[in-house]
Amino acid sequence: MDADQTLELERAILAIDHLDRGKCLDRWREAFNRPPPKHLSLQFIKRVLIWNLQNQTLGGVSAKTERRLKQIAAGQSVPATAKPGSHLVREWENLAG
């Protein structure tokens, strides 16, 4: 991403940050083809719109990350894995301090 594209993205983010609630709701409908869930705060809506803009501009998450997120959202446990050569560290609570 070059300096011009970075500047353009920053301007688009600032534009979203300055939108009122009505304009944010319109942008949400344009971005996701449906109205936002009820009772979302304006700040949260703006953050989602900015996240969506960044995903479109910079690319989304990897397929592996997408699968893991879907597992977590579905309430499935995601196994913790350690690669060979990993060092496990255990931190103990310091009761003396």
Q: Look at the chain and report how many structural domains it folds into.
A: 1
User: Residue 69 belongs to what domain range?
Assistant: 3-73
Cα 51 to Cα 63: distance, rounded to the nearest angstrom:
17
Q: Which range, 42-51, 53-62, 87-96, is most confident?
A: 42-51
Buried b (16+ CB within 10 A) or exposed e, 79-91: eeeeeeeeeeeee
pLDDT class of 97 with cuts at 50, 70, 90: low
Whether residue 20 is contained in a domain is answered as yes
pLDDT at 76: 86
For residue 42, count other CB atoms closer than 10 A to its CB: 12
Whether residue 43 is contained in a domain is answered as yes
pLDDT at 12: 96
pLDDT at 19: 96
Whether residue 85 is contained in a domain is answered as no
Whether residue 58 is contained in a domain is answered as yes
Instruction: Specify the higher pLDDT residue, 95 or 13.
Output: 13
Centroid of chain to Cα 61: 9
Q: What is the overall mean pLDDT for the chain?
A: 89
DSSP-assigned letters across all residues of 35-81: PPPTT--HHHHHHHHHHHHHHHHH----HHHHHHHHHHHTT------
pLDDT class of 83 with cuts at 50, 70, 90: confident
Whether residue 78 is contained in a domain is answered as no
Whether residue 88 is contained in a domain is answered as no
Whether residue 95 is contained in a domain is answered as no
